[in-house]
Structure 1
Amino acid sequence: MTTHLHPDERSRLDDLRAALTHEFQVHTARLTQLTADTGDPGEAHNRQAMIAAARRSVQQVGDALRRIAEGRYGRCERCAGPIPTERLEVLPHARFCMPCQQQHAR
């Protein structure tokens, strides 16, 4: 699907793919560190929260990379409309446009 993109758009997606791939690797490494048992029961609750956050990040970034590969990146999963570039710059793994995100959060 990405074969019909303007060269500037293809370049932007290539840059984004590289940045997301790096972010995926960073979060995966962090998750590996967090899951190593330190043996300190006092840190167990905090570590579990950090593990959950790292897993969410890995999942979100992986999903964004999958949408890029499938040619669906930048489209709202609810209404199929475009997600504004400004939103994607702030939140590259955004799945919804703002109106649909607000409805999804309810």
Structure 2
Amino acid sequence: MTHTLDERTRTLRDLLERQFEEFTAQLTDLTTDARQPGQGGHDPDTLRRLIEVAQQGVADAAQALQRMSEGTYGVCERCGRDIPTARLEIRPVARFCVPCQQRR
């Protein structure tokens, strides 16, 4: 079954919105844990790293959604070529095509 561009874009937008919500919820939970005496059972270094990962996830998803609204989503920031849909389905926050990502 082939999908139209609009269907793929809608599917990717839904995925990005879900990721944004999930990372936001994680960040909220981890921030609450950080304020607890036992830090939610996490050692301080692990908790700090988990918070950093959640913050990056929120930022990446928000930036991808912003690129969608600007019409630049799916375009490699380095070479300007389209990022293949298969890559975006695997990594919807991708900013670079595979060759450019490997060069970084």
Is the shorter-chain TM-score for this pair beyond 0.5, marking a shared fold?
yes
The answer on whether the counterparts of 2:12 and 2:89 sit within 8 Å (CA) in structure 1 is: no
Q: How far 1:71 sits from its partner (Å)? A: 0.8
Structure 2 CA distance, aligned partners of 1:53 and 1:11?
A: 30
Question: What's the counterpart of residue 20 of structure 2?
Answer: 24
The answer on 1:86 being equivalent to 2:82 is no
Deviating 4+ runs (over 6 angstroms): none
2:31 pairs, out of 27, 32, 35, with 35
Distance 1:30 1:50 in 2: 9
TM-fit CA distance, 1:86: 1.4
C-alpha distance in 2, partners of 1:98/1:22? Answer: 24
CA RMSD of aligned residues (A): 1.6
For structure 2, which runs of at least 5 residues remain unmatched after alignment?
none
Deviation sequence 1:44-79 (CA, Å, 0-9, x none): 111101000001111111111111111111100011
Q: Measure, in 2, the Cα distance between the counterparts of 1:13 and 1:86.
A: 12
For 2:47, give the aligned amino acid.
Answer: R
User: In the alignment, which residue of structure 1 is the partner of 2:56?
Assistant: 56
Q: Which moved more, 1:10-19 or 1:89-98?
A: 10-19
Look up the equivalent residue of 2:92 and give its one-letter code.
P
Deviation at 1:40, TM superposition (A): 2.4
- Given the two structures, how large is their TM-score scaled by the length of structure 1? 0.85
Matched residues in 2 for 1:86 and 1:12: separation? Answer: 10
Pair 1:8 & 2:4 matched: yes
Structure 1 residue ranges without an equivalent (≥5): 1-6
Calculate percent identity across the aligned residue pairs: 41
The whole-number CA distance in structure 2 between the counterparts of 1:16 and 1:49 is: 27
1:39 deviation in Å? 1.7
